[in-house]
């Protein structure tokens, strides 16, 4: 028997403002849609463990897409994108995610993202609370300065290795070495997009003073942060969640900033707790 | 936070030997260090060292050199407590790498940081060797 994974890949065309993208996504499972965003400068293979996690795919349709300019999703189809510097904004990023969910005809998906995906999860809860059953910001915070650096694209250094080894410390030493190296390898592939992604992460994303505008009853927010994350620490996650109405915060021990990619076996325990919390909220809301 | 009150301090001469051996025999550095050629200062407060790397091998490791004795291109500086955290088998959070300790502790990366970035993969690995070698402070 050929050892073929149940995970399948597809392309879908998505229009956002005047920009057209051809977006690649991986999916597996049936039931509640769970839309997954990779970290900055990376791609959807970070979710490889989740995509084949039968306990979760038995009742969730897990969809892990490549953001345009990442992995197999090309830059814009209808723009001379090479003539301007890529700088991702919260406005375009959130519109893209909603447009993708619309194009796939997803009803009340749960959105989960890590790092700049965690930050955009907070932006979605603020801007489109009625479009998502819940959001799970992983390694997110209200504000995450300090990573919009020229080093990611410095022409006198090997950008692939600077990006990959520059994020190495974001992973926990306890995480399996092979999974950390896979994550490192993914990061050698995305240096051109990494810096532009980090414009959103460290500059345009700033929800300080706005967290009280997120209604965690309309769109439940369950935040997960690893203890080895030096960019958005557990303290940052806890502080952020404490300022959002009815948000939950779960600290993940012995894991870092790429939990789903560096150690899915540990991450899944916390994710199941988050999904249980969201399920309980939905049951309470219906009662 | 105190990293590791019980971490033993390695005598300086022994540390120089074991760090050099660990680096020169490390499969990763030897596989990828063909162009790992640079000189940097490791400032551990109680001691400082200038490590001169040539093609992935430790060509010289100067112990507590005088102010102008040995040149270097960049430096990695931190207090004793931070380095002691680096010198444990499984470092606690924020003691687990030069980026983490620079963002969240007292570590400083100074000098020609471009040279550090050009050699980032091998430097990262070399500093991780402290987890097995320990630290001399």
pLDDT tens digits along A143-161: 999 999 999 999 999 999 9
Percent with pLDDT over 70 in chain A: 100
pLDDT value at A281 more than 80: yes
A252 touches chain B (CB under 8 A): no
pLDDT at B3: 53
Question: Do the chains contact at B99 and A173, CB–CB below 8 Å?
Answer: no
Of B91, B103, B124, the CB nearest to A168: B124
> Searching chain B, which residue's CA lies closest to the CA of residue A228?
B93
Q: How far apart are CA B129 and CA B118, in angstroms?
A: 19
What are chain B's domains? 12-133 (3.30.1050.10)
Confirm if B133 and B44 have CB atoms less than 8 A apart.
no
pLDDT band at B96 (very low <50, low <70, confident <90, very high): very high
pLDDT in tens, A245-277: 999 999 999 999 999 999 999 999 999 999 999
Give me B71's structure tokens.
């040149």
For CA atoms A61, A66, A72, A73, the dihedral sign is positive
Domain boundaries, chain A: 8-286
Residues in A touching B98 (Cβ below 8 Å): 169
Surface of A (91-150) touching B: CB under 8 A: 146
pLDDT band at B8 (very low <50, low <70, confident <90, very high): confident
Q: What is the mean pLDDT of residues A188-212?
A: 97
pLDDT value at A287 more than 90: no
Q: How far apart are CA B99 and CA B76, in angstroms?
A: 11
Q: What is the DSSP letter of B106?
A: S
- Rounded to a whole number, what is the distance in Å from the CA of A230 to chain B's nearest CA? 5
Confirm if A194 and A203 have CB atoms less than 8 A apart.
no
Of A154, A172, A228, the CB nearest to B117: A154
pLDDT band at B17 (very low <50, low <70, confident <90, very high): very high
pLDDT band at A286 (very low <50, low <70, confident <90, very high): confident
The rounded mean pLDDT for chain A is 97
More confidently predicted of A284 and A48: A48
pLDDT at B4: 52
pLDDT value at B1 more than 70: no
Question: Do the chains contact at B103 and A146, CB–CB below 8 Å?
Answer: yes
Q: How many CB atoms lie within 10 A of CB B108?
A: 13
Q: What pTM, to 2 d.p., does this model score?
A: 0.96
Q: Which CATH number fits domain A8-286: 3.30.420.130, 3.40.630.10, 3.40.50.1820, 3.30.70.260?
A: 3.40.50.1820
Residues in A touching B113 (Cβ below 8 Å): 151
pLDDT at A160: 96
């Amino acid at each position: 028997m050929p050892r073929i994974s149940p995970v399948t890949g597809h392309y879908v065309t998505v229009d956002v403002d005047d920009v057209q993208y051809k977006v690649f996504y991986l999916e597996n499972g049936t039931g509640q849609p769970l839309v997954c965003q990779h970290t900055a400068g990376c791609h959807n293979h970070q979710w490889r463990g989740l995509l084949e996690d039968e306990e979760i795919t038995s009742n969730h349709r897990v969809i892990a897409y490549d953001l345009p300019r990442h992995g197999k999703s090309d830059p814009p189809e209808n723009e001379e994108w090479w003539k301007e510097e890529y700088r991702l904004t919260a406005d375009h990023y959130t519109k893209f995610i909603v447009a993708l969910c619309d194009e796939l005809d997803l009803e009340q998906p749960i959105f989960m993202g890590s790092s700049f995906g965690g930050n955009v999860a907070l932006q979605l809860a603020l801007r489109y609370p009625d479009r998502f059953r819940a959001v799970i910001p992983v390694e997110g915070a209200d504000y995450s300065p300090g990573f919009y650096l020229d080093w990611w694209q410095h022409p006198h250094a090997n950008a692939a290795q600077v990006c990959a080894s520059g994020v190495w410390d974001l992973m926990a030493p306890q995480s399996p070495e092979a999974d950390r190296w896979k994550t490192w390898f993914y990061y050698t592939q995305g240096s051109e997009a990494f810096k532009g992604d980090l414009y959103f992460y460290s500059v345009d994303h700033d929800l300080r003073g706005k967290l009280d505008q997120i209604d965690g009853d309309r769109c439940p927010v369950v935040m997960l942060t690893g203890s080895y994350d030096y960019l958005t620490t557990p303290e940052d996650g806890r502080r952020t969640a404490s300022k959002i109405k009815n948000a939950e915060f779960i600290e993940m021990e012995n894991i870092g900033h790429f939990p789903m990619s560096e150690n899915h076996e540990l991450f899944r325990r916390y994710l199941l707790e988050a999904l249980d919390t969201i399920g309980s909220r939905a049951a309470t809301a219906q009662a | 936070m105190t990293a590791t009150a019980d971490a033993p301090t390695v005598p300086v001469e022994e540390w120089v030997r074991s760090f050099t051996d660990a680096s020169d025999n490390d499969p990763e550095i030897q596989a990828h260090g063909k162009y790992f050629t640079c000189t940097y200062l490791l400032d551990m407060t109680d001691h400082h060292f200038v490590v001169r790397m040539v093609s992935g091998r430790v060509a010289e490791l100067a112990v507590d050199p005088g102010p102008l004795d040995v040149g270097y291109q960049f430096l990695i500086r931190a207090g004793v407590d931070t380095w002691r955290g680096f010198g444990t088998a499984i470092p606690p959070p924020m003691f687990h790498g030069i980026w983490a300790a620079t963002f969240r502790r007292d570590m400083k990366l100074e000098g020609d940081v471009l040279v550090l970035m050009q050699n980032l993969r091998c430097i990262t690995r070399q500093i991780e060797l402290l987890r097995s070698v320990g630290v001399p402070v």
